[in-house]
């Protein structure tokens, strides 16, 4: 039984990992990332197909995203520079929200239903006691649908050389535009899970 439970747990972890969005990382060779202990924010950028919609450009969303990033960096001993102290690196992110296409399976066809009147001991049951039977469900093929895809790019720029030393990016469907701050905050965590400085125990 223990072996079965362990196998089921491994399978579950594998399925959850497969559902996670893929993070792409670019890193400047030869950089010692342990030297970066402080950061400060540079200008952020948001682009969307519906650029006139104010829901995509909100200081509240920026605050949610920046708090999430700051929290993840603090776990690694990296904190925002205070006052007029020059940071070790500048941190900025770019958000892109645009329409994309994907191919999905059509939902099973809704089985047709028809009333079925029964008789019992020679008497017909009243019509409101009818029973409904449906045909078996079956797949009716595939279709292409459009959806909103959000891409986050997180850049680390050396404050001394102004060189980009690390970039992480991830793309994921955007559910409710009203929650993009929280959704991109999750994207930021996924990206920073790949950062070359590990969390401190």
Give pLDDT tens digits for 83-123.
889 999 999 998 887 776 667 666 655 544 444 444 444 55
Structure confidence by residue, pLDDT tens digits, 187-199: 999 999 999 999 9
Give the DSSP H/E element, type plus range, for residue 5: helix 2-19
pLDDT < 50 stretches in the chain:
1, 4-5, 7-18, 111-121, 124-137
CA pair distance 14, 182, nearest whole angstrom: 25
Tell me if the pTM is above 0.85.
no
CA pair distance 9, 15, nearest whole angstrom: 10
Instruction: Yes or no: say if 16 and 157 are a contact pair by the CB < 8 Å rule.
Output: no
pLDDT of residue 140: 60
What is the 8-class DSSP label of residue 32? -
Cα–Cα distances (Å) from 142 to 19, 105, 192, in that order, read 20, 4, 35
Give the DSSP H/E element, type plus range, for residue 119: strand 119-120
Q: CATH 3.30.160.180: which residues of the chain?
A: 37-104+147-192
* CATH class of residue range 37-104+147-192: alpha beta
pLDDT of residue 141: 73
pLDDT of residue 196: 96
């Amino acid at each position: 039984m223990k072996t079965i439970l362990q196998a089921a747990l491994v399978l579950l972890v594998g399925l959850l990992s497969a559902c996670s969005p893929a993070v792409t990382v670019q890193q400047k060779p030869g950089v010692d990332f342990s030297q970066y202990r402080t950061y400060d924010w540079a200008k952020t950028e948001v682009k969307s197909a519906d650029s006139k919609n104010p829901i995509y450009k909100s200081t509240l969303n920026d605050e949610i995203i920046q708090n999430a990033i700051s929290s993840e960096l603090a776990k690694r001993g990296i904190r925002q520079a205070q006052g007029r102290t020059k940071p070790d690196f500048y941190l900025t992110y770019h958000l892109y929200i645009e329409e994309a296409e994907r191919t999905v399976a059509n939902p099973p066809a809704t089985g047709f239903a028809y009333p079925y009147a029964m008789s019992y001991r020679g008497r017909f049951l009243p019509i409101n006691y009818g029973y409904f039977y449906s045909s078996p469900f079956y797949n009716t093929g595939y279709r292409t649908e459009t959806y909103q895809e959000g891409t986050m790019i997180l850049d680390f720029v050396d404050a001394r050389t102004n060189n980009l030393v690390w970039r992480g990016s991830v793309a994921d469907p955007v559910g409710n535009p009203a929650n993009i701050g929280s959704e991109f905050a999750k994207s930021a965590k996924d990206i920073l899970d790949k950062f070359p400085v590990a969390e401190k125990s």
